[in-house]
Amino acid sequence: MFLLGSDDPAPFEELKGNAALLFVCDHASNRVPASLDHLGLPPERFAEHIAVDIGAGAMTRLLAASLDATAVLAGYSRLVVDCNRAPEDPSWIPAESDGIAIPGNRGLDDAACSRRRNEIYSPYHTAIARCLGAMPTEPALISIHSFTPSMQGVDRPWHVGVLWDGDARIAGPLIATLKQEPGINVGDNQPYSAREPRGYTVSHHAKDKGLRHVAIELRQDLIASDAGAQEWAERLTRILTPILTR
């Protein structure tokens, strides 16, 4: 028995570039395999942040194109399996998200969990490792995410967050330069912190191997439109280019 059918898309999207730079987007998609029947949720839930990092996929594609970088984007919703969590993390296949129960994730047996790991999660991470390993010089890894303007009734004032832990080679100058941008509120490990052991992709593929890395969180209302995503892609391209060159 297989999870993905012949009409389901691939478990990841890969874009080719020539720079020693890899962008990853763990929550780029809101897709669900047809066999899971929307996980028992109404279709409108998959336009919300519980299913996808709104705008993050578009940002990743724009940045990869402008910086001539390779990119790997997860092909299925974080509600199917969260590619930014270790398999032993209880939120790897969430039984609920932001207070919303996920019926299709309740009471899964080992075989069902293994199908999600073998057919979606592992191919995504294998692609990341392969792309990094194929780069002729030591690469950098940048992870792109987005966050909601408010959470549990609390406003989040940051326009962009830079998440890092220990290695400030990209994060330090990125934060400093963003703070010089007029009208931009920059979160240093806000609204999430890389120092909490939750983000699997950057830790596993870059931090543990000593590669330059950073995670960038963008507020969803700023990048949900094509124009907003383009504006932020141009800003980050302008700022990241000299940092990555150094």
The answer to whether position 6 is within a domain reads no
The answer to whether position 2 is within a domain reads no
The answer to whether position 61 is within a domain reads yes
The answer to whether position 127 is within a domain reads yes
Q: What is the model's pLDDT at position 195?
A: 80
Spell out the residues 6+ positions from residue 186 whose beta carbon is closer than 8 angstroms to its own.
Answer: 158, 159, 160, 161, 162, 175, 178, 179
* CA–CA distance, 146 with 152 (Å, rounded to integer): 16
Q: What is the model's pLDDT at position 151?
A: 86
Mean pLDDT of 14-39: 98
Q: Is the pLDDT of residue 50 over 90?
A: yes
Q: What is the model's pLDDT at position 136?
A: 85
**What's the CATH code of the domain at 125?**
3.40.630.40
* CA–CA distance, 101 with 45 (Å, rounded to integer): 11
The answer to whether position 237 is within a domain reads yes
* CA–CA distance, 179 with 230 (Å, rounded to integer): 20
Spell out the residues 6+ positions from residue 117 whose beta carbon is closer than 8 angstroms to its own.
Answer: 81, 87
Q: Using CB atoms within 10 Å of the CB of residue 198, give its burial: 0 to 12 exposed, 13 to 18 middle, 19+ buried.
A: middle
Mean pLDDT of 16-44: 97
Mean pLDDT of 208-214: 95
Q: What is the model's pLDDT at position 51?
A: 98
The answer to whether position 7 is within a domain reads no
Q: Is the Cβ–Cβ distance between 107 and 45 less than 8 Å?
A: no
Whole domain around residue 236: which residue ranges? Answer: 12-245
Q: What is the model's pLDDT at position 152?
A: 81
Share of the chain above pLDDT 90, in %: 92
In 85-210 the beta strands, taken as DSSP E runs, fall at 96-97, 100-101, 140-147, 150-151, 154-155, 160-163, 186-188
* CA–CA distance, 121 with 143 (Å, rounded to integer): 16
For the stretch 97-153, pLDDT in tens is 999 999 999 999 999 999 999 999 999 999 999 999 999 889 999 999 999 999 888
Q: CA 235 from chain center: how many Å? A: 19
Tokens representing residue 149 in the block: 């303007």
How many domains does the chain contain in total? 1
Helix ranges (DSSP H) in 24-78: 56-66
- Apex CA 231: angle with CA 163 and CA 57, to 5°? 60
Mean pLDDT of 53-67: 98
Q: Is the pLDDT of residue 48 over 70?
A: yes
The answer to whether position 4 is within a domain reads no
Q: Is the pLDDT of residue 197 over 90?
A: no
The answer to whether position 1 is within a domain reads no
The whole-model pTM stands at 0.97
For the stretch 142-186, pLDDT in tens is 999 999 999 888 899 999 999 999 899 999 999 999 999 999 999
* CA–CA distance, 74 with 173 (Å, rounded to integer): 28
pLDDT-derived band at 194, boundaries 50, 70, 90 = confident
